[in-house]
Structure 1
């Protein structure tokens, strides 16, 4: 099956809500469980108004992954762009995440003029960390007990790729 990467639309909110509703997805993000459709629509509208692009991956006409880029409003760090990535667990291991990250790298460096693309991942999310390392990201440090997950504060790894 072919993967198509395209710009995210407000109408993709329902698909992204579905993907973020899987426990095996939301446990690895900084999002709260059980997101509402309305909250996703508002989030996409806010990001669009802020000029923060997002992309989705489609297979057979169904959205199976999403990546959001985060643009800094502080002029002194505008060259740094962050991102968040999710893939439908039913489509894991098929290259969806890799293609979404490749699209983010291209967009950030070749269209936004970024010099740094960064992310945070839970330190025990080794599958994601391996993907990011394969895509040229390096681990820069650990924020200890930085994010709450299932009632416990967990360590988060900071990773970046420079242009």
Structure 2
């Protein structure tokens, strides 16, 4: 299993994930994105310094994606987002990808803090993040709209000093 940078040839896979309502609701995103719009966005933003996108690969299978978004080189923080295709869930891919992306954020990008938003009802994800050393900084009440209702989102983060202690 490994992470590799997103390539234009991966966009059909990303399109499949981005249009899966059950998956995109975890990112509090609307599952609506045409393949052409995705390609255009890729071409326009591929050289952007504000994001790093990786594909999770196991042998010949694309398993999921992990993004470091909203990279802020002044305040030295970024958001991490992860999706694993349901058929690959429970095999350690999320844990691996999450750990590698956080390591990349701290060791390569020299971030001070990595943060995320998670649905407070998604207990499985919250446990994964806590095991990785993320701390709950608070709950944003009814902050996102997904699956037909407003959802509370926990704001969780890890500081580089905390991550270093756990390594």
C-alpha distance after superposition, 1:7-64 (max 9, x if no partner) = 1112211111212333331221222124322233334344422122111111231211
Structure 1 window deviating more from structure 2 (16-25 vs 135-144): it is: 16-25
Q: Which residue of 1 aligns with 2:163?
A: none
Q: Which residue of 2 aligns with 1:142?
A: 139
TM-score, normalized by length of structure 1? 0.88
Q: Aligned-residue CA RMSD in angstroms?
A: 1.7
**Cα distance in 2 between the residues matched to 1:8 and 1:119:** 20
Paired residues of 2:105 and 2:111 also in contact (CA < 8 A): yes
Paired residues of 2:18 and 2:24 also in contact (CA < 8 A): yes
Q: Which residue of 1 aligns with 2:11?
A: 13
Q: Choose the corresponding residue for 1:88, options 85, 89, 93.
A: 85
Which aligned pairs between 1:80-119 and structure 2 lie closer than 5 A?
80-119=77-116
**Cα distance in 2 between the residues matched to 1:43 and 1:98:** 28
**Cα distance in 1 between the residues matched to 2:43 and 2:116:** 22
Q: Which residue of 2 aligns with 1:42?
A: 40
**Aligned length, in residue pairs:** 159
